[in-house]
Structure 1
Amino acid sequence: MVGPAGRLRTLCLLAVSVWGIATNAQAADLAVLCSQGLKTALDELVPQFERANGDHLIITYDTSAILKAQIETGKPFDVAVLTPPLITALIQQGKVTDGTATMLARTGVGLAVKKGTTRPDIGSAEALKRALTSAGSVAYSTSGASGAVFAAALQKLGIADEVKARGKAIPNGLTGDVVARGEADLAVQLMPELMSVSGVDVVGPFPAEVQSFVVLTGGISVTADKARAEAFLAFLKSSAAEAVIRAKGLEPG
């Protein structure tokens, strides 16, 4: 015969079991397709969100253009973080819910060199021009938003043909990795992407005269659990998240 203490212990174990089942039922996976520009910030923020919210984030990083193409060919997702024109296009295609676009951050393009090597002066447009034309080769992205910013800067400086003739075009991945391996002298990409490579020294952002900012915007899939997706975007707009975003080379939205 089970006494009062035994019955109480059984009831407590049952309560814990029921609570665990309920908690697991409430948690869910959230698929996020995210531009590489936000990766360094999310590396730190994802564990915080998962601890506070309970949902598990499954994140795929790539350039905005590549992720948009994957969505168009049917890749499932709950939240996409891309550049605003691409989010707008996906809304028009009926893949992202209208009214959910949320500006999260913006960042500019910068320059990096192999760790321990001399950092060129890029404090003005003329100084940047000298740095780019005197380098043996410059690694730059061709598929990311930084590639368009770099192309526009080269046009303004009047050195597009000269730099690209000796450039190293990178279709995807981090240009800083190319420089860290010694395959190019300078790396050009978004600031947080450069900061994520341990084998380079980030010289700094392009000067204001030739700088353009890349904006990163979140949008929710039409097939997503909207409340869960909204909770993630709201977390990225919180003051704690914004502090991390700023520390990783971006300006919070």
Structure 2
Amino acid sequence: MIEFAGKLRTLCLLAISVHGIAVNAHAAEVTVLCSQGLKTALVELVPQFEQASGDRLNVTYDTSAILKAQIEAGKAFDVVVLTPPLIAALIQQGKVLDGTATTLARTGVGLAVKKGAARPDIASAEALKRALISAGSVAYSTSGASGAVFAAALQKLGIADEVKARGKAIPNGLTGDVVARGEADLAVQLMPELMSVSGVDVVGPFPAEVQSFVVLTGGTSATADKARAGAFLEFLKAPAAAAIIRAKGLEPG
């Protein structure tokens, strides 16, 4: 009787093992290249999607321009999230499948100071101008979409040369990290990127007079498993995902 029970237990364990292999056989790894602007939201959303789908997401974050260059150089991906013009360019190159472009979110550029530091008034264009001029240095991105928005804002304010002469240009990474280390007084970047740095206090978004919104659009690779890649984009458009995206400083698309 004991011998029979032992054999039965072995058979049960074997069945469980085979079932696990069968489940894993249906799972796959989905490679995602994503703009840093959506990173704070995806950090929460990726585990939820993996649990619901059984697939594993391999996500790389960087600026839109850098990710586009990597794709053009041959980097493999299934889903990519960039700004609309860059997605459109990749569609023209045949690297992103036409018809898959999906608007996911938009966000504006904001300003942050080192944690605990005095927060300048940036409620109006004139107030923002005073804050930027009085700062010892301003960290800003040169490769991300926020860099273009900041450059346009400086032109409108008429202080481009003055601010950039004392600015700290960051080719990649988070400008908030530079301020947190005490290497600059102010950080300018997309709101969710600023919110992701624990060592800074986010003052707020730029005022409407000089604000421009950066849109983040997803698309699938021309060589991807269309069903799996499409399922992830649909997941990001669902109401539950939209709530998290909004909480991270973005407006759902």
TM-score (norm: length of structure 2)? 0.96
Deviations 1:57-86 (A, max 9, x none): 111110000000000000000000000000
Q: How far apart are residue 12 of structure 1 and its match?
A: 3.8
**Equivalent residue for 1:250?**
250
User: Partners in 1 of 2:135 and 2:97 — Cα distance?
Assistant: 46
**Equivalent residue for 2:58?**
58
Q: State the superposition RMSD in angstroms.
A: 1.5
User: Partners in 1 of 2:196 and 2:118 — Cα distance?
Assistant: 20
Aligned residue-pair number: 253
**Equivalent residue for 1:241?**
241
User: Partners in 2 of 1:62 and 1:221 — Cα distance?
Assistant: 18
**Matched AA of 2:171:** P
User: Partners in 2 of 1:45 and 1:212 — Cα distance?
Assistant: 26
Taking the TM superposition and a 5 Å limit, the aligned residue runs for 1:1-253 are 9=9, 12-253=12-253
Deviations 1:17-70 (A, max 9, x none): 332111110111110000000111111111111111111111111000000000
Deviations 1:84-103 (A, max 9, x none): 00000000000000000000
User: Partners in 1 of 2:10 and 2:161 — Cα distance?
Assistant: 77
Deviations 1:171-210 (A, max 9, x none): 0000001101111110000000000011100000000110
**Matched AA of 1:182:** G
**Matched AA of 2:65:** A
**Matched AA of 2:228:** R
Deviations 1:122-177 (A, max 9, x none): 00001000100111110000000000000000111111111111111100000001
What is the percent sequence identity of the aligned residues?
A: 86
For 1:201, what is the secondary structure of its paired residue? strand
**Matched AA of 1:164:** K
Deviations 1:201-228 (A, max 9, x none): 0000000110000000000001111100
User: Partners in 2 of 1:35 and 1:118 — Cα distance?
Assistant: 30
User: Partners in 2 of 1:47 and 1:250 — Cα distance?
Assistant: 20
For 1:118, what is the secondary structure of its paired residue? coil
Moved more, 9-18 or 86-95: 9-18
Q: Which runs of 5+ in 1 are unaligned?
A: none
User: Partners in 2 of 1:4 and 1:100 — Cα distance?
Assistant: 57
**Matched AA of 1:218:** G
Moved more, 229-238 or 4-13: 4-13
Q: Which runs of 5+ in 2 are unaligned?
A: none
Q: How far apart are residue 13 of structure 1 and its match?
A: 3.5
For 2:15, what is the secondary structure of its paired residue? helix
TM-score (norm: length of structure 1)? 0.96
User: Partners in 1 of 2:116 and 2:62 — Cα distance?
Assistant: 28
User: Partners in 2 of 1:102 and 1:32 — Cα distance?
Assistant: 14
For 2:108, what is the secondary structure of its paired residue? strand
**Matched AA of 1:110:** G
